[in-house]
Amino acid sequence: MDLDKYRELYLSESREHLSRLRGLLEDLLKGSGIESVHDLFRHAHSLKGMAASMGFTATGDLAHSLENLFDLWRKGSPPLPPQVEAALRASDALEALLDAVRDTASDELAAPEAAAAGEGLRVTGAPEAPGSRPAPPATPPPSPEPSGALRLAVSIDGASVLPAARVLVVAQKVREVFPEARMDPDLATLQQTNGRQVQFHLPEDPRVRDLARAVESLPEVAAVSIQRASGGDRAPEATIVRDLRVPARDLDALLNQTADLLHGLNQFEAGLGESGRRAHGLWLDAHRARLGRLYDQVLTIRLVPFEPLVEHLQRTVRELGSRLGKRARLEAAGAEEKLDRGLLERLRDPLLHLVRNALDHGIEDAAGRAAAGKPADGLLRIEVRRDAEALLVTLTDDGRGINAEEIRQAAVERGILTAQESSLLDEARLFDLLTLPAFSTRREVTEVSGRGVGLDVVRAAVESLGGHLEIRSAPGRGSVFTLVIPSAVALTRVLVFAWDPGGARFCLPASQVSRIYPLSSHALTWSGSRQLLVDGESLLPVLPWRLGPVGRDGFGLRLTLEGADRVLLVGSVFQIERVVIQPLGPPLDMVPEWMGGALLATGEVAYVLDGRVVARRSEEEAHAL
The minimum distance between CB 162 and another protein, in angstroms, equals: 5
The minimum distance between CB 568 and another protein, in angstroms, equals: 16
Provide CB contacts within 8 A for 183, sequence distance 6+.
167, 171, 174, 198, 199, 200, 201
The minimum distance between CB 558 and another protein, in angstroms, equals: 10
CB nearer to another protein: pick between 278 and 329? 329
CB nearer to another protein: pick between 332 and 570? 332
Starting at the edge strand found earlier in the chain, the sheet holding 581-582 runs 572-579, 492-498, 506-509, 605-609, 594-599, 581-582
The minimum distance between CB 407 and another protein, in angstroms, equals: 36
CB nearer to another protein: pick between 230 and 575? 575
The minimum distance between CB 71 and another protein, in angstroms, equals: 24
Pairing of the two strands 530-535 and 538-541: antiparallel
Task: Give contact residues for another protein (rule: CB under 8 A).
Answer: 161-162, 164-165, 168-169, 172-173, 187, 191, 217-219, 307, 310-311, 314-315, 332, 335-336, 493, 515-516, 518, 521, 575-576
Question: Which of 514, 511, 506 lies closest to 596, judged by CA?
Answer: 506
Is 12 within 8 Å of 78 (Cβ atoms)? Answer: no
CB nearer to another protein: pick between 11 and 168? 168
Is 555 within 8 Å of 516 (Cβ atoms)? Answer: yes
The minimum distance between CB 308 and another protein, in angstroms, equals: 9
Helix axes 7-29 and 81-104, enclosed angle (nearest 10): 160
Taking the C-alpha atoms of residue 540 and residue 240, their distance in angstroms, rounded to an integer, is 59
Task: List alpha helices for 137-247, DSSP H.
Answer: 163-177, 187-193, 207-216
The minimum distance between CB 154 and another protein, in angstroms, equals: 15
Taking the C-alpha atoms of residue 25 and residue 91, their distance in angstroms, rounded to an integer, is 9
The minimum distance between CB 307 and another protein, in angstroms, equals: 6
DSSP conformation letters of 256-296: HHHHHHHHHHHHHHHTT-HHHHHHHHHHHHHHHHHHHHHHH
CB nearer to another protein: pick between 329 and 530? 329
CB nearer to another protein: pick between 12 and 575? 575
- The amino acid that residue 114 corresponds to is A
CB nearer to another protein: pick between 187 and 532? 187
The minimum distance between CB 608 and another protein, in angstroms, equals: 18
Question: Which of 162, 155, 205 lies closest to 180, judged by CA?
Answer: 205
CB nearer to another protein: pick between 464 and 575? 575
Taking the C-alpha atoms of residue 570 and residue 553, their distance in angstroms, rounded to an integer, is 10
CB nearer to another protein: pick between 267 and 514? 514
Taking the C-alpha atoms of residue 399 and residue 359, their distance in angstroms, rounded to an integer, is 8
| CA trace torsion 138, 144, 145, 149 (10° rounding) | 30
Rounded to the nearest 5°, which phi and psi values hold at 371?
-60, -35
Taking the C-alpha atoms of residue 543 and residue 556, their distance in angstroms, rounded to an integer, is 10
The minimum distance between CB 82 and another protein, in angstroms, equals: 34
CB nearer to another protein: pick between 44 and 496? 496
Provide CB contacts within 8 A for 132, sequence distance 6+.
68
